Structure 1
Amino acid sequence: MADTGSQGQPGKNTPSRREGIPLGRIAGIPVFLAYSWFIIAAFTVIAYGPVLQSNNPRLGVTAFFVAFAYALLLLISVLAHELAHALTAKLFHWPTEKIVLNLWGGHTQFESFTASPGRSVLVAMAGPAANFVLAGAGWLPLAYGDLSGVADILANIFVWANLLIGIFNVLPGLPLDGGRLVESAVWKITGNQEKGTIAAGWAGRIIVIGLALWFIVLPLVSGARPDISFTLITALVGSFLWMGASASIQQARLRGRLYLVDAAALAEPALGLPETATVADFLDRAPAGKPTVVLCDPDGRPVGIVDAAAAATVPAALAAATALTAVSYPLGAGAYVPEWSKGQELVQYLAQLEGKEYAVVDREGAVTGLLRQSAVLLAITGKYRNERQNQGQNR
């Protein structure tokens, strides 16, 4: 079972119904059981039940209930893994938003936090460490107790499941926990977290290639008859890991461009007019609709944007009597930012706002520009810089 992004990027809260079934809170941390978990539970019962029944004929139909208990033990093991991440993060005051248990295992999502190479490794390695502790705890009754029947079967499953989860997650590549070791090492050497994440993402891709070669290609080359179920599982896990590694690389590249997200640099010129202004005032201050005009309420807060095309249709004789509010459309609530806003803080704030346009104001609160969501997205994806360079070459 893979740990899917235990140190995920800070995100907005989403309604719990989208996450799955709320299981309550542990140490104040909301825990959700995603609906996708029932897929892996059903697969475990269908695939493992007949094997148990064949190896233990006396179990009969009970073998399928034991297989379901196996799925529950896996769930408990993954929960312990994610809780270890979350509780270790609490030591560094990283606020945990939620834990979600799903088809691929689970993930712990944090809110905004300040990471460092050392802390990142400690939080990441806490998960596999918890599984190794559980494996040891499960081994004690096997070694010194007198277990038999179903208890013996489940104890063995519990030990091996936790060993596999722990070992699998320390493999040195993202999205696995071991990838944080690679990320932190490169981060420490270069002083750049994004370079570390990209290196760990590529390490994750190499792991996928290695797994495919070892478990699929080599058996086929050696003439062995492939096990369809095992091959399918390997392919599914490999595709999941590849997508996770690729997503980590892409996110790192986006984070590396956050310095380009600058409200003052990306905004187009704009000026502010009071809501009481008329179309005549607009035509006088912004002939031909340039620059963009933002309407402000009596307190000076930006509340709307003038539609230049609509204003141009107002007859000249009526311009002085037509309020600008009649040819404007509203800004989203709170859709204005200081002109010195930039980077991740700006992106996170804009993500909380409605609408796709935001007024830019100076330290006195006067409107100086209009920032469009499209400009921010172009900057983050790297296209804005290329576009500006092309414009410079064409001049």
Structure 2
Amino acid sequence: MRQSIRLVRVKGIPIGVHWSALAMLVLIVTVLALRVLPTAAGDPSTAAVWAVAIPTGAVFLGSLLAHEAAHAVVARRHGIRVKSVTLWLLGGVAELQDEPADWRTDLRVAIAGPATSLVIGATATVAAFTAQAGGAPGLLTLTLMWTGVVNLVLGVFNLLPGAPLDGGRVLRALVWRRTGDRVRAAGSAAEAGRRLGWAFLILGVLLVFFGVVMDGLWFVLVGWFVVVAARAEAQQGALTTSLAGLTVAQIMTPHPDTIASWSSVAAADRVALTSRQTVFPVLDIDAVPVGAVTLGLLGAVPEPLRRSTRAAALVLPVPAALAPEEPAGHALAALQGGPVTVFVAQEGRLVGMVTGDDINRVLQQAPLRERKL
């Protein structure tokens, strides 16, 4: 998930928020101000309620960041690269660039987030009871109690056994331990997540039917997200299986058609119209790739500008080039960040590229390779 607002970098990890997290903040603050905090002892004023609701909502977002940061920190300690930590509408995402090396690492990374939420929840709950015993204002006591309960619920919810929840990762690690097969374990976690998501959807529909509309719609939203994400996990597992044992050289498009960076778009048309590619490496005068252009970008340049616009002005950035002998899974990981292609280079020279079309072709060829074996 791409970050809309970059907040900070912690030990090299970008921490940010997606724009949808702002909607979550508004929703939380509104619920606090209109439904939760007005019930505090002492009959607090509207101004006091809103003055407390806003920072409390921000503190809750901070607890979500702590949850995801815990995953990232534990992953880094085990040599797993972390791309980013991002908050969005339904919580947070810690994007890992590498897969855990063994089931123990998988389990430790998975459990770190829920454990952090449970610790925060328990601490806030104890603080609430302590504040109440000490005669603190009812608004403060209720705020601490809400923060504690919500984090406890968050920790328990994330431990439900189904991908993409942390409990799904825990399930994957345990099945991996029992079977010794990570791919099979991932498939089991994805299937459990799909069933869990449908259970949430059905529960949400029933709640709406019986008049509990807001809670029902929330369960429907969460269920839909879990089902979609579980399906994506299953597809990822299928891709990982398909690429197992293959090298980048075996899946790449070798010696692709290229476009010179100094060429005009009109000149690039001649290459694009005679090629079967939809993505083209752009090379500088030393034949070094400087980026890529797509058919869509070339076609979007207006006719009056096609002779004066250079291909270099249209290039899209690409990840660092891979070597032909690297595992094919490295190309899949590089493409997951959203680039249109990843280049393959040997001794500094372009020898191929891998695009989403290449990955899809390998996926479709998988049954043929299995029959051949």
- Superposed pair shares fold, TM > 0.5: yes
Deviations 1:207-249 (A, max 9, x none): 22333444543784xxxx4221111111111111111111111
Gaps of 5+ in 1: 1-13, 272-288, 290-295, 304-331
Instruction: Return the letter of the residue paired with 2:49.
Output: A
Q: Which of residues 179, 199, 206 in structure 2 aligns to 1:217?
A: 206
The one-letter code sitting in structure 2 at the alignment partner of 1:137 is: T
Q: Which residue is equivalent to 2:155?
A: 166
Kindly state the Cα deviation for residue 42 of structure 1 after the two structures are TM-superposed: 1.3
Partner residue of 1:40 out of 12, 24, 37: 24
AA of the residue aligned to 2:163? L
What corresponds to 1:21 in structure 2? 5
User: What is the Cα deviation at residue 172 of structure 1?
Assistant: 0.7
Between 187-196 and 262-271, report the one with greater CA deviation. Answer: 262-271
Q: Distance in 2 between matches of 1:45 and 1:297?
A: 53
**Local SS of the residue matching 2:80:** coil
Percent of counterpart pairs with the same letter?
24
Q: CA deviation at 1:358?
A: 6.3
> Which of 58, 62, 76 is matched with 1:76 structurally?
62
Question: 1:229 and 2:210 equivalent?
Answer: no
C-alpha change, 1:140 and 1:386, in structure 2 (3 Å) is closer
8 A contact 2:324–2:345 mirrored in 1: yes
Given the alignment of the two structures, is residue 243 of structure 1 paired with residue 243 of structure 2, yes or no?
no
1:199 deviation in Å?
Answer: 0.9
Corresponding position of 1:278 = none
Deviation digits for residues 346-379 of structure 1 (CA, Å, limit 9, x no counterpart):
4456789988696787xx9999x86664762233
User: Pairwise mapping of residues 359-370 of structure 1 onto structure 2 (< 5 A)?
Assistant: none
Alignment of 1:141 onto 2:130: no
> Alignment length, in residue pairs?
319
One-letter code aligned to 1:379: R
Contact 1:131 1:166 (C-alpha < 8 Å) held by counterparts = yes
User: Quick check: 1:125 aligned with 2:111?
Assistant: yes
Match of 1:379 in 2: 361
SS at match of 1:257: helix
**1:190 matched residue in structure 2:** 179
Conserved 8 A contact 1:53-1:59 = no
Q: Which residue is equivalent to 1:320?
A: none
What is the SS of the residue equivalent to 2:44? helix
The reply to whether residue 343 of structure 1 matches residue 328 of structure 2 is yes
- Which protein is bigger by CA-based radius of gyration? 1
Alignment partners' CA distance in 1, 2:94 and 2:239: 21
Give 1:76's aligned amino acid. G
TM-score, normalised to structure 2, is 0.70
Contact 2:16 2:86 in 1 (8 A): yes
Contact kept? 2:169, 2:189, Cα under 8 Å: yes
Q: Deviations over 1:117-147 (max 9, x none)?
A: 1111111111111111112211223333323
Which whole-Å CA distance do the structure 1 matches of 2:320 and 2:10 have between them?
36
> Which letter does structure 2 place at the counterpart of 1:158?
T
The alignment partner of 1:19 has SS state of coil
SS at match of 1:58: coil
- Whether the aligned pair in 1 keeps the contact of 2:335 and 2:342 (CA below 8 Å) is no
